[in-house]
Chain A
Amino acid sequence: MTLKSVHSPILQVEDLCTTFGSGIATIPAVRDVSFSVNKGEILGLVGESGSGKSVTLRSLLGLSRRYGETTGSVYWKGDNLVVRSEADMRRIRGGEIAMIFQEPMTSLNPLLTVGMQIDETLKAHTAMNASERKARAVEMLDLVGIPAARSRLGEYPHQFSGGMRQRVMIAIALAARPQLLLADEPTTALDVTIQAQILDLILSLAKDFDMGVVLVTHDLGVVAQTCDQVAVMYAGRIVEQGAVRQVLRAPQHPYTVGLMRSVPENVPPRTPLYSIPGTPPSLLSLPEGCAFSARCPQKTVLCEQSRPHLTNETGERAVACFSRVETQGDAVA
């Protein structure tokens, strides 16, 4: 029973590549990334810092064009966004597709009140009149759990605490009722208590408004508690992809296995933690074979010679590895 047979994807990404720089110093930040997101579904994108999560997200909205080149296709309701003009993209951004960035302060305008910022988004992306917009602004602040919403519309971002600012950003992002939310580490800088509130909010909005979500995080716990599907990135590529329960219960790519094992959960206290040996390779000098080979306990001669493709033998799980790890049952314990 897969969700895919019930829903059709609203977002379908195929062979997305983004390259920065030029000449000998080209950086292949994202390579051949493919995934799809259904209505009401949350896809988690995980990986170590520098693995290409943020660039992937930005590339979906054409935000990597300024410094680099994006190829491949991003089908949004059947229409390829990669070839759309910047003017078209501006209309889509913040309207049908909303994005929450990694740094809340840089994306809120410090000179405008929170109410004005929500109003601007609504003016740009909906046909609402002034009083409808005001009502929606109050409703949104209410929805994200900001007490006394009506009276706080006139306040500036600096008058809110860190956690509230993050929620204000979410309120702005969701004001025009997007059908897709791209959220880049929306809770990484927050306390676990506020994190839990915000993830619950995203979860219920996805279910209530049938909104698709791509959630970037490096916390596998956040994936476990929030996402339906997960894609694990390493050195710019997806190395494992599938339903959250399956991937977290029985990871098959050695990198995913390593990530899961480094989390100090269900490990006897004060014993050495597992750690993936070595560091990620530089994107400027990727090995010819598997990018994970220098750190992989399962590596064979083949791994250094050629690169494994993301295969989808079982139809449910895609893994880019010549020798998938066969873990039965509980890999968590």
Chain B
Amino acid sequence: MTEAVLEIKDVNLAFKGKRTVLDVLSNRPSRDVHALNGVSLDLRRGETLGVVGESGCGKSTLARCIVRLYEPNDGEILFQGKDVFEASERKDRSYNRRVQMMFQDPYSSLNPRMTTRQILSEALKVHDMCKEVDIPEKMSGLMDLVQLPEDALDKYPHEFSGGQRQRIGIARALAVEPEVLIADELVSALDVSVQAQIVNLLLDLQERLQLTILFVAHDLRLVRHVSNRVAVIYLGRIVEIGDSETLFANPSHPYSQALLSAAPSLDPDDKGKKIHLEGELPSPLDIPPGCPFHVRCRHKTPKCTTELPRLRPLDGRGSVACHHAEEIENV
């Protein structure tokens, strides 16, 4: 098996809730948002791992923990075997360089008063990537890599289209020669045709630079297309993880089945072939006991309301967190 670059082990993260006056008066504890509840996964060298799940299930929180924007309350994240939150590792800035996050909205993450040239040279200087004299050459190489014309270097972010701004965001991330890219909804705001260009670029760069990619997106078709493996998250827990094609073709967890069948197919004859998911995602303030999916699950049994199913490997499929995965028909 391929070596794991990042190991995420039983990570928990709760955002402290504010106590309202009423809470204080009635002596209620603060209401915490349980964003991640024991997430474990390996990111293997050179792979693309897709992450899907409904809004608010913890995808971005996980991405932000990996790049140390958030610190988990519990659990650890190992990069090449070392805990990245340990004091000695924290001082080591090379992790910030080797694991790069790319943002959903490059418009707000690119400084509007800096030209592309300034943005890139700042990134190169912060991490001491090359000698001052080599910067211009390095920059034209980067423009080449993300397929932007050289004159883009002297333009400001507002002078670009959405797709071009994404390319600049990618160029900035690549400037520091990272090993891992964390892409959170990288192409979600773009039209399909531009989306396709960025996805092609990403696949091409991955091959040329042997990048490892965590790809978070809510467009299931897109995740299926780019990923080698996929993790399905529900209320801050992985409910299923495995090979992308197997999982999309034959999802095993009832939640994965419902989620995947909700994606609208291009074939008009698929009308009505959906699994109905009753109700909404419960609030992460009050996660149901037992299997957190039981309030919406068509297959629940009494056991599901009391006992939390563990993520366990299934024959010929990935790992699934469901008590009844063996009995439930694939759809």
Contact = CB atoms under 8 A, between A and B. Distances in A.
10 contacts: A192-B218, A193-B277, A196-B262, A196-B264, A221-B221, A224-B271, A225-B265, A225-B268, A262-B193, A262-B196
Given A225-B271, A264-B224, A248 B266 contact: yes
Given A193-B262, A269-B225, A270-B203, A224 B197 contact: no
Contact of A192 (B191, B199, B263, B267): B263
B195 interface: yes
A265 B277 CA distance: 23
A229 to B, nearest CB: 12
A273 B259 CA distance: 24
Interface string B230-257: 0000000000000011000000000000
B197 A275 contact: yes
A294 interface: no
Given A191-B218, A225-B268, A270-B225, A259 B263 contact: no
A190 B268 CA distance: 21
B200 A218 contact: no
A54 B116 CA distance: 32
A194 interface: yes
B51 to A, nearest CB: 14
Contacts of B316: none
B222 interface: yes
B200 A275 contact: yes
B165 to A, nearest CB: 13
Given A191-B54, A226-B264, A264-B224, 19 more contacts: A192-B259, A192-B263, A192-B264, A193-B54, A193-B277, A194-B280, A218-B192, A222-B264, A224-B265, A224-B268, A262-B193, A265-B221, A269-B224, A269-B227, A272-B200, A272-B203, A272-B204, A275-B200, A279-B194
Given A224-B268, A245-B268, A48 B258 contact: no
B109 to A, nearest CB: 20
Contacts of A224: 264-268, 270-271
Interface string B196-214: 1101100110000000000
A258 B194 CA distance: 12
A263 B221 contact: yes
Contacts of B258: 193
Contact of B245 (A199, A221, A269): A269
Q: By CB atoms of chain A within 10 A, which of B48, B55, B161, B271 has the most?
A: B55
B197 A263 contact: no
Interface string A83-121: 000000000000000000000000000000000000000
B265 A221 contact: yes
A200 B261 CA distance: 14
A205 interface: no
A265 B191 contact: no
A147 interface: yes
Nearest to B200: A272
A218 B189 CA distance: 11
B279 A147 contact: yes
A190 B264 CA distance: 13
A222 B268 CA distance: 9
B226 interface: yes
Interface of A: 48-49, 147, 161-164, 190-197, 199-200, 218-222, 224-226, 244-245, 248-249, 258-260, 262-267, 269-270, 272-276, 279, 332
A265 B265 contact: yes
Contact of A274 (B54, B196, B220, B267): B196
Given A273-B196, A273-B225, A275-B196, A265 B266 contact: yes
A92 to B, nearest CB: 31
Question: Chain B: interface residue count, which band?
Answer: 35 or more
Contact of A195 (B192, B195, B262, B270): B262
A276 B193 CA distance: 6
A273 B201 CA distance: 10
A185 to B, nearest CB: 13
B274 interface: yes
Interface in B163-219: 163, 191-197, 199-200, 203-204, 218
B175 to A, nearest CB: 24
Given A191-B54, A259-B193, A264 B222 contact: yes
Contacts of A197: 276-277
A265 B219 CA distance: 11
Contacts of A269: 224-227, 244-245
Contacts of A218: 191-192
Contact of B225 (A48, A267, A279): A267
Nearest to A49: B191
Nearest to B244: A269
Contacts of B271: 224-225
Nearest to B245: A269
A48 B280 contact: no
Contacts of B227: 269
A225 B261 CA distance: 12
B206 to A, nearest CB: 9
Nearest to A190: B55
A23 B129 CA distance: 51
B244 A221 contact: no
A195 B193 CA distance: 22
Contacts of A273: 196, 199-200, 225
Nearest to A331: B266
A161 B280 contact: yes
A268 B79 CA distance: 32
A279 B259 CA distance: 33
Contacts of B196: 262, 264, 273-275
A200 to B, nearest CB: 8
Contact of A220 (B48, B55, B245, B266): B266
Interface string B270-308: 110010110111000000000000000000000000000
Nearest to A187: B264
B55 A191 contact: yes
Closest 4 pairs (CB-CB, A-B)? A221-B264, A275-B196, A264-B225, A273-B196
